[in-house]
Amino acid sequence: MADKEGKYCQVCGGIVPTGSDVRKIVVDGKEIGITHLDEIFNHVLEMHLTGDTKIREELLKQVKAFNYVPTKKTEAYAAALVNEYKKLSRLQ
């Protein structure tokens, strides 16, 4: 059986997403590509949520709609997402 060409995720084994709609963030010390992340951040900003818990829950909900988030890494993803979101929201 011939190997398929392409780059594969070391977490889930799927093909690593590429393209202009992918943004990379560091999750648990590894750079991870998240599809539609800029759109998600903008949507959550428009929701004017207050409190880290609400922001965290909404970010995870929307990220999971487009991306695989391993159950064991949910907290690491949440921390990385909130951290990146806060950086972006300070620039707004």
DSSP 9-47: -TTT-SBPP-STTEEEEEETTEEEEEETHHHHHHHHHHT
Give residue-wise pLDDT tens across range 8-60: 555 555 555 555 689 999 999 999 999 999 999 999 999 999 999 999 999 99
Q: Is the pLDDT of residue 80 over 80?
A: yes
In terms of residue numbers, what domain contains 55?
A: 22-91
Residue with more model confidence, 4 or 66: 66
Are 56 and 82 a contacting pair, CB within 8 Å?
yes
The amino acid at 8:
Y
What's the number of domains the chain is made of? 1
15 assigned to some structural domain: no
79 assigned to some structural domain: yes
For β-strands 22-27 and 30-35, DSSP reports them as antiparallel
57 assigned to some structural domain: yes
8 assigned to some structural domain: no
Sign of CA dihedral 25, 28, 31, 32: negative
Q: Calculate the CA 84 to chain-centre distance.
A: 9
d(CA 74, CA 91): 26
9 assigned to some structural domain: no
